[in-house]
Structure 1
Amino acid sequence: MLGTTEFRTTCHLPHHFIAKCDFRGNGFFLIAQGRWLLMLNADNFEILASFEIFPCDNVHGVSISGALFCCFGNRSFRLGIVVGRSRRAAVVLRLFPKVNRVSDWILQAKVIPSGAVLLLTMHNSLFEYDIGSANFTERRCDLRSVSYCGKIYGDSSENLCAISGTATGSVLIWLPLEHRVRVAHVLHAHNGAIFDVAFCLQKRLLCSVSDDRSCRLWKMQLHHDSAGNKPPTVMEWSESTFACLFVVYGHSARVWRAEFSIFGLLSTGEDGSVIMWSDQGDILWTKHVVNGSLRALYVNDEASYVLVGADSGSIVRLPLWPVVTTYRWNLSHCMKRPSERVVQVVLLSQNPVSFLCASNFGNVFIHDVTGNRLVVSDHNLRLFVSCRSANDGLLAFGGLNGAFYLLRNGKLNNCSCATATTRKIFSMHMLDPNNRLLICAENGRMLLFDCSPKNSAVLYQPELSLPVGHQRWTGAAILVSLSDRRHKLVVGDRNGSVHFYTLENSANFPEKSYWHVHGRHGVTDFCLANDLLCSIGRNSTLCLWKEEDRTGTFKLLSKERLWKGLDWPSRFVFRKRGLQIAGFHGDRFLIYDFELQGAVFEIPCGGGHRSYDVALSEEDGGCFACIAQGNLLFARWQHDVTLLAQGTHWRRINDVCLLGSSFDKSMLIATCSDDTAIMLWKFDKRLILMQRLVGHVSSVFRLHGEDDFILSAGGRAELLVWRYHAGRFCLADRVHDASDYRYTSLDCQSLSSVDAHYLIVAARSDAAILAYRLEMKQCGAAKLSLAFQFSSVSCVFDATLIRLAGTAMTYVVACSDGTLYARHFVADAPDAAFQPWDFKCTIESCSLTAIAALPREGGCSFEKTTIAVGAESGKVYLLDPRRGDSQAERLEPPFASSVTCTKCTCNGLLVAVSAEDRLHIWQCRPDLPCCYGRLCKTILLNLSDPLSLCVSMLGSKLHIIVCGSGMQYIRLHLSDLLCMNCFEAVCNPKSN
């Protein structure tokens, strides 16, 4: 438990390694987050404990030998032991107090049984650290070069060997414990820097991966036979030869890691893919796991799984050998005529496997383990359409001239009399669990039947009609129960439109239609999820609909573009862990998972067509059947791809904002990134991803959040408004132009406490400042309109908008010429764009990079506001507008690098971060002179390249979120920051 004085930090940072430790039957994983080592449960990956290893350096790896382990990073290493805990049958880690340092960058550390630690460094040196005497022994290789990776093999003077991958593309195999440290082999491998090397002891294979996107494999050839399960001796390393077996290319970007398995070689890269290579250089399987780099790789041959860690902070588990069983049947021998072929397939059962197949001559038969059994022969079934109930296996199929059949448990029922008036059945849809069936016939006619008896079809509703238009037949349909117990029939046609019918009305036409909401290529499926109606279409778009409480009508909330690798989304599928989509990409069928943001199963099938079926099991697997080149292709898979740890963005995070006033249960945090996405997080002891917003075509640089809407600005001069409605944020409006400028600052203030009118002021990289008026409508829409525009003297790096009385505003900008400018204007005034700068103050000769406003007590004007300014030089200033630039007060100590962001709290605390990965907190309340301008705390951040932060006060605790190359959350108690007088004044302002 954390006491009244506390310091807490949690991170979502890139993963560089994943290591497993087994101690007395207790297994756990070790990963690093900055300077901290995290101990994770081996089953569910929950954090068991965390340890700060180094005061400054990040942890890059860990070596474990028995109960002793060694953590290393940069030029530091630290030892520890694993201790058993008798009561709970668990383990704990005990760190040695001393942090040891060497003079070179550590590539790998290895604990050997003799009681020493071996450290392989960047300039081809091996340091031997004796744990008992704490003495160092350094052995330098006779060939000096810069190495980016290295591995140590062996554990004694008889078999110790070091393998280094250099920046020039060579692999060095050298023997550090010989009397004269020499290089045994130099292998010229790649055209770029080598990022990892691996050696397989059993197969005597050596692998290297490089910047040139290639993997190279060598075979170690000995002059005499040697035991395959023992490490090669020093003599064998020296006398052997290495023959290059192959050079393979499979990754589309740099390759970071390689590990050997019993099945072959595994590699991960910057493209987010995992590839399994055979010993002959063939690709056994490939899997795109995440967007972004995969730098951590762990292979467990015994449990047959692979763990990969991404730069986004995600950890994904996937099977070492994906279980995909494929069968292909030639059904031509089942046909009575030479020209007869199978055109449709329906998967009836997974275990045992059985199919319903239909031929182009109207023959329908069941194919299973016993053979083929003819079900019906009807010439009208040469055009075959079908649908299946997800609950009880009821199958309906039909075709021409009203042919209509129901099949359940092998028993066929002819229901053609119910559809005798139809000439052609275009499509069928099972609408709900009660087996209500919608049949679409010619000229847009729709018949709704009740098939709950399972052996007959009863007309449930008078005939309905699709609106007059092109391609008048349905692509998807669903029956939705409304809150007032009425029913709404939702139909999507092949023209990309969605139509809503109220069944209780006598009208046969829709009461509401949304034309071409899915383009012009057709709606493919509907589903209900979290009280929202979801629809997908051939334009690879997901639409979300919400029922209006009063009217019972459905309103379109948002249109979201799906994953780029899903060209043709075909249907929704449900799993225990969430919603998935089955569809096609090129000539491949795939299952897309929303949680993983990628495909969990892929198989080549010839492309998108209607002659396929898929069924998912309760476990992580399923079956797929299709007709390919006249043959029946069947695949059963068990993918077991699991997201163990949720990551953030896969590129750097540019901005973060809070949505609300405090870190309560309803608090949301929004982040934006160079990956063009906005992610919404709920803070409940840890960050939980709630929603991912995709709407920008370029990087998103700035965010501003209010209680019910978000403003986002990015490249290509895009400014978007996201409105909170029905439990989700949806795109409400956007403005953009043809320029290629990006927004550098964004701020918003309310114009009226009654009406939902706001003023948005944003600065662009071309020194243009644009003011927009935002009007929030009750229907959930928003309207952006340009109010006025003016130019800055130089490029604006940061700006803030201060609201005065009514619609009077002050806009303060920090510019690249080292000057602070301010302009007073009235938002409703027609001459707001032509007013001059009212305030000008030169702070420094270099650029001003960050700005924050600290309103003083009783202040509602610019003169009663203190401005905190951060500069490119690393200095932070406090400026009182009443005194001018001669009285700009510099806060001590300054940063050693550029200030990237400054934020203020309501009680006068100033928080700033810099490019040197440090965070400073000052107390800046003039009415508390005892601590005014005093540095309260300095924190060395775990993440690199911090660009933005947000702060919030909740009670007596300060909450800080810093974002950059990852995300870090910090919680501080005010009693640790302020003296007793300031603490009482801040926490109990009324008593003072």
Structure 2
Amino acid sequence: MSLLIRTDVTAVKLYHKYILAGIGSSVYIYSKDNYRLLTNIICLNGQKIYGLVPYKISNKILVFGGKQYSILSLEYSNDKDDLKIVRTVEPRVCIDWLHSVAWITDESIAILTAHNTVQVWDVCKNSLISQHSSNENSILYSGLLLSLQDGILVLSGTVFSEIIIHTTALEKPLHYLKGHRGVIFSISVNLEQGIIVTTSDDRSVRIWGMYLRTSSSSMAVDTVNYWRSISIKCKHELYGHAARVMRSCITNRTIISVGEDSAICYWNYVGKLMKKVMSHQNGCIWSIDADESHVATGGGDGAVIIHPLTKAFYNGHNESFNFNVTPKKIAFTARKNLVILDDNDNLVHFNINDNTQTTFKLKHESTYKLFSISSCKQLVAVGDKNGRLNVFAENCKDVANLTNVIDSKLDLGNILSMHWAGNRHLVFCGEKGVITVISSQNNDVETSAVFVLPSCKERWLTSAAMDPTNRCIVVGDRCGNVHVYFIGIKNPYKSFSKVHGRYGPTSITIKDHDFITTGRDGTIKYFFINKDNKSLTKFMNNKDLEFQWVEKFIDKDENLVCGFQERTFIIYDIKNHNRLLEVICGGGHRSWDVVRYVDGAGNDYKEYIKLVYIKNTDIHSRLFQMSKISSQNITNSSHSKEINCLKTFKSEVDPLVTFYVTGGEDTTLRISTINANLEFQDEVVYKHLSNVRTLKLTEFRNGILVTSAGGRAQICLRLINIIRKDNHLKVLSEEMVDFMTKGTDKQRKNNQTWRNSTVDFDPETRIMDLDVIKPDDDKIVIFAGCSDSYLRIFVFIEETFALIEELKHHQTCILRTVCVKFSERDILITCTTIGEVALWDVSLKFGREIAPFFSTRTNKSGINSIDTRVLSDTELLVATGGDDNAVILSLIEVPSFNDTHVKYSICMDKYHCSQITGVLFVKEFLLTTSIDQRVTLLRWSVDDHGISCEFLTQLFSDIADVQGLNVIDTNMDSITVCVYGNGMELLRVPLPDPH
């Protein structure tokens, strides 16, 4: 029984007030009003759903995929959210793959198979009414059936890059549409607009026009005669995708295409690309549907996303201002008015509501101006290099106006930078790195603190933040360093070097005992402050974003961040991994500001984002209503590519929540949660340089140590802690180690010139698997099996990480490493691509010559999975599953290391038809899984006659390319497991009655 699934969403349908999604072999139905899951039902047996076809005059839905189809019936009640779904026709298996289906009547349907054959079936009697095979014997990659008044129209997308249009009423095809240079992936038709849209793996979208050859305009479009009387020509050939174009759909105003490049392209009927939006975390978008107001997409990241159709046309409200001056700096105030600093020593306050402006003449001596606005946006500070300071305040009530509250001359020497630290303090940086913090005293200023910035090449600040409660200030300098000061101590309490590259941090946010920095290196970095223990003030982790210039957060939850990608301004939603807004404005090397606010009356409140920027000495303003452009996740996304490894744990903070740690081919390591209501959510996402192949969880220092490794021979260690904050669980993580076994490119070059540097001809080494033992409370030993056949041993102790051994015993790639406590000794087991299993004693101190004390060959080829069970002090049961489709149980007897041998062995090769990727012992049961998507439950036993295994049951998983399984929970009547591969699925495996 499937409890939860996250995998490719291969079908979506907008149906009345509902959103239907085909995920695996099940249909999920969500409310279009509140996006809540209403119900779900298994429709097919072990086949992915590729189409949902509603009947126009009833509440029936035809579901098909693979070689099967079934029919659902929706039953409504007075409450629109109270919906029942019934499978009226059980899954029926056809003789060939299905590409399209169509309703003919309430009791009959037509299906199009992969060999260009149309069959008409009576669904009530399950009888074949008729069959029509086309003269064009071509394998189809796609197809579309249209029910006509006098027949069935077939549009066949062939492997020969052409679309063949024929009808069941005629022998010869009606039309051949040629022009694509690749196989046809989808065909869409809009009879009202008279167009056909096709997509292909040549990355193109083609719009075909239908033209009547005769002057008769009264001919019905849903007749064979009409299709015989028209000519079809290619009107537009469209290129906007960077990879294969998978699907398209047609609305009254737009043509929408989606593809492998994760792009949604909106086209108009004349072939112009109106907008291109990236979605689904760079995963393939498999399905799309649209109505008059929304577009729904399903992707390879397991997400169903609904987008407003207005996104294609809506570009916000544009406004330009010209004040007959040359603006240098600009910012929004708290009341969304503008303050402008021009090149004539004037500060202008522009009231947007009544279109009036007030000008203040500044009496500054230097033309080098410093301009900053406070966090609350009510205070504006303008200073110059010589120390002249003006502070202006905007009133909160009545008509908005600006007042000069401070006009002072500071004796700080040459001032290089000025920043607000909160709403009361200004931070100045002068020559020789002297940092001065001032605050207001009536209409004058007073010095609150003085600090000294450590020496660096460009010794001034780029950002600052203050925490008055803890009397702490955090600053970032132009060389990318971040320094933590406490008031009363001139020198830094703690410094972090080269945090954000040579441009320095762009913003610093202090929250409780944490602070967050952003920078122009495409990262957000998280730190922890402990004023009592300097060693506990440390860098925790970082988040990599899709764009380089990360400027600042625009919300209180630190979820919405803004920045630039070249000339485009971006607002990014961190939690949902998508871009909310993209505006081409020329780039961040200009003065600009952005504000997010809610406006409206009564119950009709709308969220707005307003951007202002200077371009060509003009001030441009862009106002966006977010409901017209922001997309909504119906189901939350996860990995956009294959999951290679998965482990789970629970926390005492909330035992009902299970934490899933996963690593995948998309180079991310994710920690996700599934609660008691089976709601899935990614909590944190970490990046590796290459794919994540393996991970292990170890209890360490009152937390969970996550050790992950994979491509580029990279190993990462992160310490995870779970806390409850504001009634929500929060994952705290600290990055302990980021280590590359082969070294970075710079380390490999060893600072040599290009003439003297040598090339490492050894291919990139991958860490295929690892396991961890903890000899002491503060010591971790890691055993890593690598693709270059080396076994590498690492030690983490007292915050240092080192490679201590490289052992060469195997001649081929090591696929699996597992440690087991056996007879009070630590035994390491390694498995290779030739089916070899080796046992190593790793209990003694390292430095001596280490070699396996026993080696045997269990499988005929590579071993993908292994599990062990200690039976006694001298007997070890080992289960291995490999590429030979066989599960091998071996009882290894170890009376002594010199006399180790296989006592009994049993081979089981009849339960799976593909590579075995997972084996697990659970009490007296053995669970196995394979690429064939089956999960098998066996009961094992060992006696004096040998090993015996009894088959109990087998389930089918909707996860393709299964990489393994993990046990989540066990009870008296079932075992809950998580199968992972191209997604993940929770399955409940029933246990036999003990009686």
TM score, norm. by length of structure 2: 0.88
Q: CA deviation at 1:447?
A: 4.0
Q: 1:320: which partner in 2?
A: 309
SS of residue in 2 equivalent to 1:17: strand
Quickly say closer, same or farther: Cα 1:932–1:620, change in 2 above 3 A.
Answer: farther
Q: 2:408: which partner in 1?
A: 418
CA offsets per residue over residues 590-634 of structure 1, 9 Å max, x none? 112212324221112222225001111235540111111222122
For residues 964-979 of structure 1, the aligned pairs below 5 Å read: 964-972=981-989, 976-979=990-993
Quickly say closer, same or farther: Cα 1:392–1:801, change in 2 above 3 A.
Answer: closer
Q: CA deviation at 1:569?
A: 1.1
**Aligned to 1:684, which of 675, 683, 694?**
675
**Aligned to 1:741, which of 765, 768, 771?**
765
Q: CA deviation at 1:400?
A: 4.6
Q: CA deviation at 1:376?
A: 1.1
Q: Is the 1:547–1:553 contact (alpha carbons within 8 Å) kept by the matching residues of 2?
A: no
CA offsets per residue over residues 511-559 of structure 1, 9 Å max, x none? 3322322222111101245853111122223221112274388623334
Residue 841 (str. 1) matches residue 823 (str. 2): no
Q: 2:875: which partner in 1?
A: 864
Which stretch has the larger CA shift, 468-477 or 551-560? 551-560
Q: 2:553: which partner in 1?
A: 572
Q: Distance in 2 between matches of 1:63 and 1:510?
A: 66
Amino acid at match of 2:384: G
Q: 2:505: which partner in 1?
A: 523
SS of residue in 2 equivalent to 1:501: strand
CA offsets per residue over residues 344-366 of structure 1, 9 Å max, x none? 2212378xx74222221222223
Q: 1:622: which partner in 2?
A: 609
Residue 260 (str. 1) matches residue 250 (str. 2): yes
CA offsets per residue over residues 798-830 of structure 1, 9 Å max, x none? 232222356x32222333333332233433153
Q: Is the 2:102–2:111 contact (alpha carbons within 8 Å) kept by the matching residues of 1?
A: yes
Q: Distance in 2 between matches of 1:111 and 1:49?
A: 24
**Aligned to 2:420, which of 430, 435, 446?**
430
Q: CA deviation at 1:138?
A: 1.2
Q: CA deviation at 1:652?
A: 0.7
Q: CA deviation at 1:927?
A: 7.6
Q: CA deviation at 1:375?
A: 1.5
Quickly say closer, same or farther: Cα 1:909–1:615, change in 2 above 3 A.
Answer: same
Q: Is the 1:10–1:968 contact (alpha carbons within 8 Å) kept by the matching residues of 2?
A: yes
Q: Distance in 1 between matches of 2:535 and 2:869?
A: 47
CA offsets per residue over residues 612-669 of structure 1, 9 Å max, x none? 0111123554011111122212211232222221122111111111235999346422
CA offsets per residue over residues 676-711 of structure 1, 9 Å max, x none? 110112231325334444342111111111231111
Q: Distance in 2 between matches of 1:186 and 1:655?
A: 48
Amino acid at match of 1:937: T
Residue 510 (str. 1) matches residue 492 (str. 2): yes
Q: 2:263: which partner in 1?
A: 273
Q: Distance in 1 between matches of 2:195 and 2:554?
A: 43
Q: Distance in 2 between matches of 1:579 and 1:774?
A: 34
Q: Distance in 1 between matches of 2:674 and 2:22?
A: 22
Q: CA deviation at 1:917?
A: 0.9
Q: CA deviation at 1:417?
A: 4.1
For residues 467-506 of structure 1, the aligned pairs below 5 Å read: 467-481=454-468, 485-503=469-487, 505=488
Q: Distance in 1 between matches of 2:787 and 2:8?
A: 30
Q: Distance in 2 between matches of 1:219 and 1:692?
A: 48
Q: 2:735: which partner in 1?
A: 731
For residues 142-153 of structure 1, the aligned pairs below 5 Å read: 142-153=135-146
Q: 1:657: which partner in 2?
A: 647
Residue 73 (str. 1) matches residue 65 (str. 2): yes
Q: Is the 2:968–2:978 contact (alpha carbons within 8 Å) kept by the matching residues of 1?
A: no
Which stretch has the larger CA shift, 417-426 or 521-530? 417-426
Residue 721 (str. 1) matches residue 708 (str. 2): no
Q: Is the 2:10–2:48 contact (alpha carbons within 8 Å) kept by the matching residues of 1?
A: no
Q: Distance in 2 between matches of 1:899 and 1:130?
A: 41
Q: Is the 2:707–2:716 contact (alpha carbons within 8 Å) kept by the matching residues of 1?
A: yes
SS of residue in 2 equivalent to 1:716: helix
Q: Distance in 2 between matches of 1:759 and 1:610?
A: 51
Quickly say closer, same or farther: Cα 1:602–1:554, change in 2 above 3 A.
Answer: farther
Amino acid at match of 2:925: L
Q: Distance in 2 between matches of 1:962 and 1:233?
A: 49
CA offsets per residue over residues 433-490 of structure 1, 9 Å max, x none? x54333445554444344597xx45426144443343333321111125xxx432111
Q: 2:926: which partner in 1?
A: 910
Q: CA deviation at 1:886?
A: 7.0
Q: 1:963: which partner in 2?
A: 980
Q: CA deviation at 1:225?
A: 6.5
SS of residue in 1 equivalent to 2:330: strand
For residues 552-631 of structure 1, the aligned pairs below 5 Å read: 555-564=537-546, 566-574=547-555, 579-618=559-598, 619-631=606-618
Q: Distance in 2 between matches of 1:392 and 1:886?
A: 77
Q: Distance in 1 between matches of 2:295 and 2:512?
A: 33
Q: Distance in 1 between matches of 2:655 and 2:354?
A: 61
Quickly say closer, same or farther: Cα 1:90–1:825, change in 2 above 3 A.
Answer: closer
Q: CA deviation at 1:227?
A: 7.1
Residue 466 (str. 1) matches residue 453 (str. 2): yes
Q: Distance in 2 between matches of 1:928 and 1:155?
A: 72
Q: CA deviation at 1:930?
A: 14
SS of residue in 1 equivalent to 2:935: strand
Q: Distance in 2 between matches of 1:530 and 1:909?
A: 49
Q: 1:156: which partner in 2?
A: 149
Q: Is the 1:892–1:935 contact (alpha carbons within 8 Å) kept by the matching residues of 2?
A: no
**Aligned to 2:793, which of 758, 771, 774?**
771
Q: Is the 1:931–1:978 contact (alpha carbons within 8 Å) kept by the matching residues of 2?
A: no
For residues 745-894 of structure 1, the aligned pairs below 5 Å read: 745-752=769-776, 755-775=777-797, 777=798, 781=799, 783-804=801-822, 808-833=825-850, 835=851, 837-856=852-871, 859=872, 861=873, 863-882=874-893, 884-885=901-902, 887-891=904-908, 893-894=910-911
Q: CA deviation at 1:257?
A: 1.1
Q: Distance in 1 between matches of 2:38 and 2:809?
A: 54
Alignment root-mean-square deviation, CA: 2.9
Q: Is the 1:256–1:295 contact (alpha carbons within 8 Å) kept by the matching residues of 2?
A: yes
Q: CA deviation at 1:929?
A: 11
Which stretch has the larger CA shift, 508-517 or 282-291? 508-517
Q: Distance in 2 between matches of 1:461 and 1:970?
A: 61
Which stretch has the larger CA shift, 80-89 or 124-133? 80-89
SS of residue in 2 equivalent to 1:920: strand
SS of residue in 2 equivalent to 1:108: strand
Q: Is the 1:563–1:597 contact (alpha carbons within 8 Å) kept by the matching residues of 2?
A: no
SS of residue in 2 equivalent to 1:880: strand
For residues 34-113 of structure 1, the aligned pairs below 5 Å read: 34-65=24-55, 66-85=58-77, 90-113=82-105
Q: 2:195: which partner in 1?
A: 205
Q: Is the 2:523–2:542 contact (alpha carbons within 8 Å) kept by the matching residues of 1?
A: yes
Residue 356 (str. 1) matches residue 339 (str. 2): yes
SS of residue in 2 equivalent to 1:826: coil
Quickly say closer, same or farther: Cα 1:519–1:661, change in 2 above 3 A.
Answer: closer
SS of residue in 1 equivalent to 2:76: strand
SS of residue in 2 equivalent to 1:99: strand
Q: Is the 1:44–1:644 contact (alpha carbons within 8 Å) kept by the matching residues of 2?
A: no
**Aligned to 1:539, which of 494, 515, 521?**
521
Q: 2:752: which partner in 1?
A: none
Quickly say closer, same or farther: Cα 1:620–1:242, change in 2 above 3 A.
Answer: farther
Tell me how many residue pairs correspond in the alignment: 931
Quickly say closer, same or farther: Cα 1:620–1:575, change in 2 above 3 A.
Answer: farther
Q: 2:695: which partner in 1?
A: 703
Q: Is the 2:528–2:540 contact (alpha carbons within 8 Å) kept by the matching residues of 1?
A: no
For residues 912-951 of structure 1, the aligned pairs below 5 Å read: 912-926=928-942, 933-951=949-967
CA offsets per residue over residues 725-783 of structure 1, 9 Å max, x none? 5842332112420551212221122223xx322322111112111122232x4xxx452
Quickly say closer, same or farther: Cα 1:114–1:788, change in 2 above 3 A.
Answer: closer
Q: CA deviation at 1:220?
A: 1.0
Q: Distance in 2 between matches of 1:230 and 1:395?
A: 69
Q: Distance in 1 between matches of 2:810 and 2:907?
A: 25
SS of residue in 2 equivalent to 1:85: coil
Q: 1:189: which partner in 2?
A: 179
More strand by share: 2
Between the aligned residues of both structures, percent identity stands at: 19
Q: 1:3: which partner in 2?
A: none
CA offsets per residue over residues 159-184 of structure 1, 9 Å max, x none? x42222222211122222x1x24321
**Deviation >6 Å, runs of 4+:** 225-230, 927-931
